[in-house]
Amino acid sequence: MSKSLFLSLCAVAALTAYATGLGLKAGLYEIKIVKQVIDGRDMTAQMAAASEKMQQAMANMPPEQRARMQAMMPNAGGGDSGGYRICISPEMAKRDTPVVDKEGHCQPATINRAGNVTTYEFHCTSTDGSTRDGKGESTAGGDVISNRFDMTSHTANGQSHIMHSETEMHYLGADCGSVKPIEPPK
């Protein structure tokens, strides 16, 4: 699997984790990847190692260089425990649907709620002809939202990949600091 496809699949995993209509509060969250399986290979340890390596590299950078690096990744402020941070804007917190991609190309086809559990299915088609189909479930409990989803992606050149992802979102507070808020897709 190419590095760009791997990163793309990881980004989808992260984006599916927020704005699930579960009483999400505006503010700063840390997302921790609990489990990541791509094409039957458990990538959890590899992703944790890559995240740790990135954290260490950024920690060793001069402040100006670290600021430039964080500006290139505005919604990926470093977390203290190998996760990454996102800032949910008030507008995003008011949404009542799962968001699978921040550009809004992928809207859930079905959404069902039962108490603190939201389940959803989605189908996405990108401008390059690739598609993603999947289903997920989010469970809220206090300041933690647990997410899991399964997705199959088909690239424009005919390759298919299967992904299973489990994440946890931990609410850290209303102040996002230097992490740029995510706005609702247009």
Whether pLDDT at 103 is above 50: yes
* Predicted confidence band of residue 132 (pLDDT cuts 50, 70, 90): confident
Whether pLDDT at 80 is above 60: no
CB 178 within 8 Å of CB 150? no
Mean local confidence (pLDDT), 70-83: 51
> How far apart, in whole angstroms, are the C-alpha atoms of residue 10 and residue 131?
15
∠ at Cα 47 (42, 49), nearest 5°?
Answer: 115
* Predicted confidence band of residue 19 (pLDDT cuts 50, 70, 90): very low
Q: How far from 40 is each of 138, 169, 186, CA to CA, in Å?
A: 22, 24, 34
Whether pLDDT at 68 is above 80: no
CB 31 within 8 Å of CB 85? yes
Task: Output the pLDDT for position 152.
Answer: 94
Which is higher by pLDDT, 49 or 165?
165
Scan for tokens 């859930």, then name that residue: 108
CB 10 within 8 Å of CB 3? no
Q: List the domain range (segments joined by +) for residue 93.
A: 3-182
Mean local confidence (pLDDT), 22-45: 86
Q: How many domains does the chain have?
A: 1
Give backbone dihedrals phi and psi of 4, rounded to 5 degrees, phi first: -65, -40
The DSSP H or E segment spanning 68 is helix 63-72
> How far apart, in whole angstroms, are the C-alpha atoms of residue 5 and residue 26?
30
CB 122 within 8 Å of CB 100? yes
